[in-house]
Amino acid sequence: MIKRTSEPFLGTTTDVNRAFPDVEAIDMMVAQDLYGYYCQQESQRVNSFTKSSLPSHVRCVNPRCQQGGLPTQNIVLFHEDGEYDFACNGHEGSPAGRRKGDPCDNRFKVMFCIDRGKK
């Protein structure tokens, strides 16, 4: 039986300290499904992460969404601190077929700040 391992950070390492060598601390909040189309409870729509809990990916809560979600680590790497609004780039394809469906309507609101330690 093959055990699934956790997704590696940035394709190379699962060690968050190696993925972000210059970063002391990360404080990130991700809110999605802002109008409650897919989830009833706010706890399912809002997630907070720190450096040690930051996943490589936050799943899209749209149950029909495929290949969507938010690449949280890439956002930290390639964006300045602040507040952002990202559209999910997934689609609502049929699970059985290979047809690409409508684009996913979900959006992600992201707020984060990074403590880079040294000046």
- Which CB atom, from 30 or from 65, has the smaller least distance to Zn ion? 65
Residue nearest to Zn ion (CB): 68
- Both structure tokens of 68: 């969507």
Q: Cα dihedral angle (60, 63, 68, 71), rounded to 10 degrees?
A: 20
Select 17 or 67, whichever has its Cβ closest to Zn ion: 67
- Cβ closest to Zn ion, residue 55 vs residue 90: 90
Bridge partners (DSSP) listed for residue 29: 48, 111
Positions touching Zn ion (CB under 5 A) are 60, 62, 65, 68, 88, 90, 104, 106
Q: In whole angstroms, how close is the CB of 73 to Zn ion at the nearest point? A: 18
Task: Report the Cα–Cα distance between both ends of the chain, in Å, rounded.
Answer: 49
- Shortest Å, Cβ 93 to Zn ion: 11
Q: Which residue has the tokens 């689609």?
A: 91
